[in-house]
Structure 1
Amino acid sequence: MALFEKKETDAAAKQNTSAQIEETEAADTVETTLHFPEQWDIPAKERYVYQFHHSRLPKLKANQLSISGYKFVEEDGNIEVEAFIRSTVDRPVQIEAVDLILFDETGQPAARKHDDWDELGELPPFSCIPWRFTFTKEDRLSDAAVNDKWQVLFELKQKAEETLDLDPAWEERLTPEKKAHFENLLTKLPKLRPKEVNITGVELTFLENQSLEVIVLIRNGTEQEVQISQLPLIVEDATGEIVCQGQFTLPPLKVKPKGAKPWAFVYPAELIGKPDADFSKWKILVKQNK
């Protein structure tokens, strides 16, 4: 009888210990209160929907900022996301701009963007605010459809190994938005191999005189400055056919070690051999001497 009573006491002690652990874990988490953006006019019925989704969110620990996406709509290549922005900080928090990344159902990055959130205003202490934002076609990292198993996160961006190397003339003409676009592009491009020098096409535009302007990034993955005085370049369209090619003479062009210099090359109309080119995809290549 005494032996039976000892076992019962041990079991009770284990239950009590388990309960204490659960209580401690619960004490480590913080509840958030749902707030709505002042500029949103939300009907009462829709507020109940937000409250329902809010009640199902996982609890957070103290001093966290979190984003929880719960709905998205994909249309014409753009993805509109609805998410909850949550703060368990004990004071108001102002988020002016963020880097966001959307993962698809396989856990692969599907879209990435830098977004201004000035309109969001302050996050009150221990709050949860619904918010909407859009990943545009230009933000997409792949053409694959994003299905119902997806996730959006704040991206803690590492500093790019490459730095933007702007020519003084480009420094004057580039808007802050365009400069940020080039810098953001550097974080998305594949890393260069050691000692690799690479040319990456950024955008192309037909000018009024029907010439073709191609903007590129000349990337220097070496440890030394690179000087380029001649560049034979070929532009291919989505079919892999050559649209135009030409030999360009440069000042010479200097690119710093681990630098990426934007530059523009213009092909006169008479050099364009395929006026009906399919530019849904394209690339620019250095012509190899045979």
Structure 2
Amino acid sequence: MTNTPKTYKTEIDFSADWEIPAQEKYIFQFYHQQLKDLEANQLHVHGVKLYTVDSGIVVTAIIRHSLPKKLRLDQVVLLVKDTEGKELAKKQFDMQLFGDLEPCTARPWNFLFEMEDLSVPYEEIKNEMEFEMAFEYYEKVVKDFELYLDENWSNGLTEDQQNYVHELVSTLEPLKENEISIVGFHFHESADAVNIYIIIRNSFSNGLTIENLPIQLFDAAGDMVCKLGFPLGQFTIASKQARPISLSFSKEVFQKETPDFSSWKIEMIPQTL
């Protein structure tokens, strides 16, 4: 026997900043009543009307959600598609004037897609044509990280080596917000250990203190060679900062006897941080 997910009927709410004639409110209420109930914690956009204008197209839509708390949208990316799924337009909108939505409510809104937002020639879009709408979800990323070299690193690296690390940080892939990431950039193997230099980046809005850093080391075959937790004491890294550190993996703890280090990879184990 399968459990049927609980669904929620939203209540329509009109913005105080949009003066809507009573007749149009009845039309929105009619469209809203035709919509299927939402499952828990959903955000949905439903297109009502599409109008062609001299500057592009205006789409009237109803945004609704089934969250148990107020919803405030900052930025959203909306897609307009035809009934066969072909993309007609896409644009990111600032939703500051949209305001807060109480729990399980819906609100109509107008969206202007200008000519540069259209994905097809303007002539392909017909006034009041049937269409569909969707959110394009994206995650905010942090691109620019400031390299921090403490006294030991500043004194221990030549100017060329410092320039290399600065250049490396500037070329790393952006991070999603609220992540901590590691990248290995130097590998040295001795008779009894493997030493690796890594860069730690912090994309949280606050500084972090890392007391223990659990790392897995993989060889060219993709096999895990060892897994170690490195006690760092009070290793602090500021918001949007990149900071190098060196780690030593003793061969006594290797789980693979003859690893192939022609290439290598390290990964952090985040759940144990």
TM-score, reference length from structure 2: 0.47
Higher strand share: 2
Higher helix share: 1
TM-score, reference length from structure 1: 0.45
